Structure 1
Amino acid sequence: MWRGGVVLCALVTCAVACRNHAEKPPSVAMASEEPITKSPSGQFRGSWMTSRRGRRFQAYRGIKYAEPPVGNLRFQPPKPILSYQDEVNATEDGPACPLPAPPSYPVDEDCLTINVYTPNNNGSELLPVIFFIHPGGFYSMTGRSDLAGPHYLLDHDVVLVTINYRLGSLGFLSTGDRLAPGNNGFKDQVAALKWVQRNIQAFGGEPGLVTLAGSSAGSISVLFHMISPMSKGLFHRGISMSGSPIGNRPLPRDLFHLAVKQAELVNCPTDNSSVIIECLKTKPFRELGDSLFGFREFGMDPVGIWDPVHERDFGQERFMPLQPDAAIREQRLLTPVPYIISQTTDEFFWGAYLVLQNETLMKTMNEEWERIAQISFQLPSKNLSTVASRLRREYLHDQPLVNSEASARALGKIYGDSLVGFNTYRLANLMSRHSPHKVWYYEFAYIGNHSHYEDPVTSKPKGAAHHDDLIYLFSLSYRYPAIPADDSPDSKMVDKMTKLWYDFARFGDVRGTKELGQDSVDWPNMTPRARVYLRIGDEWSVHSNLKEDRFKIWEELYPMQY
């Protein structure tokens, strides 16, 4: 199933299962005393860590920012913790939120924790804050230090914050009524952002200089926080990497079908939302987390399961009261900020290998193209036959799929464009037209020593895959060895990517691209008439109209007003 632990790690479902194949994380520095931070909410005892280039910094991990979402609080909005009576032991990571994981990996429903990393909690000048929302399709991964390690970014004068938020049904159950309006995972993120506003100054961070950054599901989250009334004013810059909710359909008003599916998977009745929720409340959290694979319909597809919902109004505080494309087009962003948007060159291209290297899956996709295309490429039912036929003609030239590199590359482009590329293109185009702030767009094309998809035979990367830019921003010790501070291309990429993030967090622009030595480049912001982007590869260069030769096909299939 795991194909050497590679493919599902890229999908992030089994991210934690791959940690046994990685080297140990960068060492924790020895110090005579553990660091202490006192904030308006309480006192926190942390630990010392050492950055990639040998800088000692403070780490405060596993701080609970909300009450345990258990018992009667399961499927409810978070209850923020405003004060701590006793000193908080923040020396170790908290558990991951429920997801499939090996028995030895720490998982618990009491998982709403925040990590803060700072070079100095008593400096004369407050530092910019980067608040990172982890990827994982809203059903996996964590903000723990083995999946969002601070050792690269903390070479810079920045305070890094990472969080856990509820996943899967525990975070995104939505029956479309007052019992479960939805979006609780996003409301967790809001509670964490408010915790930062109350406390981050004590850790050396500037609460008026928070950059909200995310990848994949985290990228989608960043845009939603710009729209949401619950997040108004809680951050000041945005970075969205490889993820957008603006594609071929509007947000749903509920996910009742997933509530029914979840109930079936754990042997609960499905008569109505009341009996579903009451039964699900009785189930052990591990049973709910471990049921994830039951939502698959074809191999490992669909990649996306839980959507954010356009919340109905039942008198609750609503996270998402608007459709995102309309909010942008009508200039109704409540927190518009300078914004970096990106995608990788190859994104989910590896989905093709899962199909083509399995004779049963390949045969099924060939013989039932329309049905499987809807699942694998997440296509709406409307005009499905026309859309599926057009995609097969344009990408595959109406040729049957075979287990060849040419077939894999063609099918891989459909996976990448349908799941990430086209949606991200639409987000960049809408924001560059209607945001009152500048928008910058980049393509991550660099292929280094490692990737989230590596050939199972050669163990070498085959493209710039989904999440690959994270390899040069965070120490991902669950799977990858630490990148040493030397003169290698990978090391230089770490320096460039972290410098880009630091400069953007500090200044709200991309001036750092002018200070990259031989890769010095003037990266203009994107405009409707000049759809420019930065290509981050072995060299950094500016180009125009990213992948638009392919995206024009999708525009014809799913027209939208810009």
Structure 2
Amino acid sequence: TTAPSGKVQGSWKVSFDGRRYAAFEGIPYAKPPIADLRFQSLLFHICDYYNYFSGDEDCLYLNIFVPTQGNDQQALDVVIHIHGGGFMFGSGHDFLDPKYVMDRDIILVTINYRLGVLGFLSTGDEVLPGNNGLKDQITALKWIQQNIASFGGNPNSVTLTGFSAGGVSVHLHYISPLSKGLFHRGMSMSGVATNDWAIEENPLEYAKNLANLVGCPISNTKSLVECLKTRPASLLVEKTKDLYKYPPTPVCLLKPVIEKKSEHSFLFEHPYKSLVEKNVLDVPWITSVTRDDGMIISLLLYNKLDDLNKKWTEIGPDILEYRNLRHRTDISNKIKDYYLGKDGQFNDNSLNQFKKMCTDKFFTINAESSAKLQSKATKSPVYFYYFNYDKGENTFTNLFTSDDRVS
């Protein structure tokens, strides 16, 4: 296929029901974020195919999957999927197998974006404003607008989808002025922009702590960032693990931030304020939660149940992310009493209640409130659904509770 950005070679694959589809994988959409471009926004560095760099900090890429059509060659609707992973891990190849989608008459695009320290480190000022991973997504959306027609897609019918951090990303695109005109509807599964784990309010603290870990000065942000550029990317990623206050929390260690307002800012006010003041893109939106969304968090803390019982008022605020509240000790006790009962304990018998606590705090409460706020802020339809199916062999619940688990 020849697109405005260059020639792309794909391969033929077969869908679940036997339909042939073309897979164009590993298409670079931005220049490699290496050397001087590390920690930089790539909004104006769209990639062509003629100088593709391969290395540790490789060129950002996307994948396009196109089903075969009959004689009717009208442009197909485009679905862009943004992967989850807490803004720390994952890729466009995770979780969504195109063979199950290619039986439909749609084009599927999955994208990679910078994660963790390389995508979301911020000094809270103009030196390193942050949100580079989200700005990568903007660059990918622009590339798709410019090129998707060459693959048979309709650039005027683009749907964004994502789950967890991907769902947060989708919702943030409704709020960011940079996203206007780049998509036409969206779906946020198990993640919205108002989640407590979606926005970092004190990014400089993490930047300084990381700098200390790799031997960089912290006297001013410019020298801090210049020094971090000289450190191997692998070292920065490895040392990021030492930033956790109470592993594995916070749920999202490095994440989106609120930038100082400028024409290149992705986000310059808190998403909650944007929704209340109706500063949100007026296009259709679906959001959802799953009954056991909090399971992964509760299970990651399963081997620390003794700590939870002994030091709940100390570590509860870090786990559930209300450490900045004044009456956090009283709040911790009330939360524990509500979910576990008076004098309840964290143990095997209360694991379901702990899971419910995590699901409510990290997913359900903000998803419901965001749906209500957005329905008031826009004229476009807003839908909320609750996914409760648990009979499938490969459901998330079954993977963690089956007697046939692989060791």
TM-score (norm 2): 0.92
CA distance, structure 2, for counterparts of residue 203 and residue 249 of structure 1: 37
Residue aligning to 1:81: 46
CA pair 250-167 structure 1, distance change in 2 beyond 3 A: closer
Structure 1 residue ranges (4+ consecutive) displaced by more than 6 angstroms after TM superposition? none
Residue aligning to 2:31: 67
The question of 1:322 aligning with 2:269 is answered yes
SS of 1:287 mapped into structure 2: helix
SS of 1:52 mapped into structure 2: coil
The question of 1:342 aligning with 2:285 is answered no
2:306 to 347, 363, 383: 363
SS of 2:235 mapped into structure 1: helix
Residue aligning to 1:532: none
Structure 1 residue 41: Cα displacement: 1.7
Q: For 1:450-461, what aligned pairs fall within 5 Å after superposition?
A: 450-453=394-397, 454-455=399-400, 458-459=403-404
2:334 to 371, 390, 397: 390
Structure 1 residue 317: Cα displacement: 0.8
Structure 1 residue 248: Cα displacement: 5.7
The question of 1:186 aligning with 2:171 is answered no
CA distance, structure 1, for counterparts of residue 13 and residue 198 of structure 2: 44
CA pair 362-332 structure 1, distance change in 2 beyond 3 A: same
1:421 to 338, 348, 364: 364
The question of 1:137 aligning with 2:86 is answered yes
Q: For 1:371-382, what aligned pairs fall within 5 Å after superposition?
A: 371-382=314-325
CA pair 312-219 structure 1, distance change in 2 beyond 3 A: same
Residue type at the aligned position of 1:421: T
CA distance, structure 1, for counterparts of residue 183 and residue 374 of structure 2: 17
CA deviations over 1:6-35 (Å, ceiling 9, x no partner): xxxxxxxxxxxxxxxxxxxxxxxxxxxxxx
Residue aligning to 2:58: 110
CA distance, structure 2, for counterparts of residue 272 and residue 339 of structure 1: 42
Structure 1 residue 180: Cα displacement: 0.4
CA pair 433-375 structure 1, distance change in 2 beyond 3 A: same
Structure 1 residue 251: Cα displacement: 4.6
Structure 1 residue 374: Cα displacement: 1.1
Q: For 1:50-449, what aligned pairs fall within 5 Å after superposition?
A: 50-78=14-42, 79-81=44-46, 83-85=48-50, 108-120=56-68, 124-144=73-93, 146-247=94-195, 251-252=199-200, 255-313=203-261, 315=262, 317-333=264-280, 335-356=281-302, 358=303, 361-382=304-325, 383-405=327-349, 407-447=350-390, 448-449=392-393
Q: Any gaps of 5 or more consecutive residues in structure 1?
A: 1-36, 89-93, 96-106, 461-478, 480-562
CA contact (8 A) 2:78 2:106 kept: yes
CA contact (8 A) 1:328 1:435 kept: no
CA pair 294-111 structure 1, distance change in 2 beyond 3 A: farther
CA distance, structure 2, for counterparts of residue 348 and residue 119 of structure 1: 35
SS of 2:90 mapped into structure 1: coil
CA contact (8 A) 1:432 1:438 kept: yes
RMSD of equivalent CA atoms: 2.4
SS of 1:116 mapped into structure 2: strand
CA deviations over 1:95-147 (Å, ceiling 9, x no partner): 9xxxxxxxxxxx83114101111114896200000011100111100012x54
CA pair 156-255 structure 1, distance change in 2 beyond 3 A: same
TM-score (norm 1): 0.67
Give the paired residue count.
401
Q: Any gaps of 5 or more consecutive residues in structure 2?
A: none
Structure 1 residue 395: Cα displacement: 0.8
CA pair 191-340 structure 1, distance change in 2 beyond 3 A: same
CA distance, structure 2, for counterparts of residue 224 and residue 355 of structure 1: 29
CA distance, structure 1, for counterparts of residue 273 and residue 288 of structure 2: 21
CA pair 193-299 structure 1, distance change in 2 beyond 3 A: same
CA pair 176-409 structure 1, distance change in 2 beyond 3 A: same
Between the aligned residues of both structures, percent identity stands at 38
Residue type at the aligned position of 1:341: T
CA distance, structure 1, for counterparts of residue 198 and residue 77 of structure 2: 35
